[in-house]
């Protein structure tokens, strides 16, 4: 991709609406919501940089980093329900490789309702509609069946397992890589 194509990435919308969700840019006032669900044990296990014990200032730092990140290469959408941030979907865009790595989280009490899948599908749709990127991918701890299902339901295929590829809490773990090419994509989350 050339410089002109990188400008195309900037067209990702700041707000996305689905049937049940609003995805919007993270706001500084989201720190309380992030803190309320980031303290959960599952958050601690899944995020490599989550400190223990997780404190409100950690949530404030996370929100500030997301706000200061360059939207063209690191957009993060807050998943909002009833005016509260309940999760997020983020991208790490590599324009030079025409791809984006996807990450996401959902408040524990809202898991299992298809909300994360709905949000992920909406973001993937926007990537392929609004940019020239050719691939979206995500990585997951293989025993995290719920996260594996999110990626599969979003249309991604398992591409590889990187054995003992990631250190989490001092332990080497495997990572499964799931991906979708533009040629595999069929929009589902948006009313086009």
CATH number of the domain that residue 86 is part of: 3.40.630.30
The more confident residue out of 166 and 30 is 30
What average pLDDT is seen over the chain?
A: 88
Residue in the structure block whose two tokens are 């599969």: 152
Structural element, H or E, at residue 79? strand 76-81
Write down the H helix ranges in 26-134. 31-38, 41-46, 56-68, 115-130
Question: 97 lies in a domain?
Answer: yes
Return the pLDDT at 6: 52
Question: 11 lies in a domain?
Answer: yes
Q: Based on the structure, what is the number of domains in the chain?
A: 1
Mind listing the pLDDT tens digit for each residue in 59-91?
Answer: 899 999 999 999 999 999 999 999 999 999 999
Question: 189 lies in a domain?
Answer: no
According to DSSP, the β-strands at 76-81 and 22-25 are antiparallel
Return the pLDDT at 192: 40
Task: Show Cβ contacts of residue 69 under 8 Å, excluding neighbours closer than 6 positions.
Answer: 75, 76
Q: Which residues span the domain enclosing 36? A: 3-136
pLDDT exceeds 90 at position 50: no
Q: Does the predicted model carry a pTM greater than 0.85?
A: yes
Question: 25 lies in a domain?
Answer: yes
Kindly state the average pLDDT of the residues 133-152: 95
pLDDT exceeds 60 at position 149: yes
């Amino acid at each position: 991709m050339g410089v002109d194509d990188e400008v195309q990435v900037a067209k990702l919308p700041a707000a996305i609406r689905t049937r049940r969700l609003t995805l919007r840019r993270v706001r500084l006032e989201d720190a309380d919501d992030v803190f309320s669900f980031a303290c959960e044990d599952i958050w601690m296990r899944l995020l490599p940089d989550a400190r223990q014990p997780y404190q409100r200032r950690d949530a404030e730092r996370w929100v500030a980093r997301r706000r200061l990140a360059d939207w063209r290469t690191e957009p993060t959408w807050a998943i909002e329900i009833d005016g509260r941030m309940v999760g997020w979907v983020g991208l790490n865009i590599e324009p030079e490789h025409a791809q984006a790595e996807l990450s996401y989280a959902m408040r524990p009490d809202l898991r299992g309702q298809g909300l994360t899948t709905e949000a992920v599908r909406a973001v993937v749709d926007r990537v392929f509609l609004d940019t020239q990127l050719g691939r979206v991918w995500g990585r997951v701890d293989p025993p995290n069946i719920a996260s594996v299902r999110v990626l599969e339901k979003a249309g991604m295929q398992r591409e590889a397992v990187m054995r003992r590829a990631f250190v989490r809490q001092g332990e080497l773990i495997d990572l499964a890589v799931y991906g979708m090419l533009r040629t595999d994509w069929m929009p589902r989350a948006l009313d086009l």
